[in-house]
């Protein structure tokens, strides 16, 4: 399985934020997107997720045995700045909803309780999501990635608001996902502790993107 982007460029307002950006992620590999604030990391992730229309280029996912160039967004989990959980509902209700809504082809997703255990918060699934602290909310949002299996994880600042031990938990979960043949594309400032990750450096409005492979 391979996620490939060809000649992507995107606008924010009038200016091109990045132009002619190409990359591929093979199964089991991670791509870390770095760069200053406002250099286009989040925009790139939203383009890959299909939430923003690229100015040029395309993103496609090639599956062995599947049709070539299928829409990549459907195979992606997107963890944005916001957690996509309802503060009025309990954590379990939130996780069960996403599991049922996203579907769980092949039964490879964890149950809501197991996913909460995996991020180390198995004992508070009965609380309303709004009662949790910012870090706990972020961890639960991460648990959402595991209730339904998607090969590609798009993570936008996944470790914001987290303490060091939680970062370690995240790194472990990302490693596990990669080991099972998943793909991760993460925009981050903190090092995620992934030795094998490739790095893509965004430079922002300069129009040029230097990639370090």
Partner 1 sequence: MIALLSRDLKLSVRAGGGALIGVLFFTAVVAVIPFGVGPDLNLLARIGPAIVWIGALLSSLLGLDRMFQTDREDGSLDLMLMQEHPLVLTVLIKCLAHWLGHGLPLVIASPLLGLFMNMDEVAIGATMATLLVGTPALTFIGAVGAAVAVALPRGGLLVSILVLPLAIPVLIFGVSAAYAAVEEPAPFLPPFLILIAITMFFAVLGPLGAALALRNADD
Contacting positions for partner 1 (CB under 8 A): 46, 49-53, 71, 73-74, 76, 78, 80-89, 93, 96-98, 100-102
Q: In what order do the strands lie in the sheet with 70-71?
A: 15-26, 2-12, 56-62, 70-71
Cβ proximity to partner 1, 156 vs 198, nearer residue = 156
Strand partners for 184: 30, 153
Least Å from the CB of residue 52 to partner 1: 6
Least Å from the CB of residue 102 to partner 1: 7
Least Å from the CB of residue 85 to partner 1: 7
Cβ proximity to partner 1, 38 vs 172, nearer residue = 38
Q: Token pair 């770095």 is at which residue? A: 34
Cβ proximity to partner 1, 27 vs 102, nearer residue = 102
Least Å from the CB of residue 25 to partner 1: 17
Query: DSSP letter string over 39-91?
Result: SSHHHHHHHHTTSS--SEEEEEEE-TTS-TTEEGGGGEEEE-SS----TTSBH
Name 93's Cβ contacts closer than 8 Å, sequence gap at least 6.
Answer: 86
The answer to whether the Cα torsion of 118, 124, 126, 131 is positive or negative is negative
Least Å from the CB of residue 195 to partner 1: 30
Cβ proximity to partner 1, 39 vs 83, nearer residue = 83
Cβ proximity to partner 1, 83 vs 159, nearer residue = 83
- CA gap 24, 20 in Å, rounded: 14
């Amino acid at each position: 399985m391979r996620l490939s982007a060809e000649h992507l460029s995107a606008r924010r307002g009038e200016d091109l934020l990045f132009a002619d950006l190409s990359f591929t992620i093979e199964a089991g590999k991670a791509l870390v997107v770095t760069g200053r604030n406002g250099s286009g990391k989040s925009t790139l992730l939203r383009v890959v997720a299909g939430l923003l229309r690229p100015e040029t280029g395309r993103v496609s996912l090639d599956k062995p045995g599947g049709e070539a160039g299928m829409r990549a967004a459907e195979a992606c989990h997107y963890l944005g700045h916001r957690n996509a959980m309802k503060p009025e509902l309990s954590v379990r209700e939130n996780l069960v909803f996403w599991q049922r809504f996203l579907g769980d082809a092949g039964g490879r997703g964890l149950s809501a309780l197991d996913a909460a255990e995996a991020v180390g918060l198995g004992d508070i699934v009965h609380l309303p999501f709004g009662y949790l602290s910012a870090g706990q909310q972020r961890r639960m949002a991460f648990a959402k990635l595991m209730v339904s299996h998607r090969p590609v994880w798009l993570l936008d600042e996944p470790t914001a608001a987290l303490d060091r031990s939680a970062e370690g938990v995240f790194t472990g979960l990302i490693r596990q996902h990669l080991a099972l043949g998943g793909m991760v594309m993460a925009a981050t400032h903190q090092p995620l502790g992934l030795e094998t990750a490739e790095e893509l450096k965004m430079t922002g409005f300069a129009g040029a993107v230097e990639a370090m492979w």
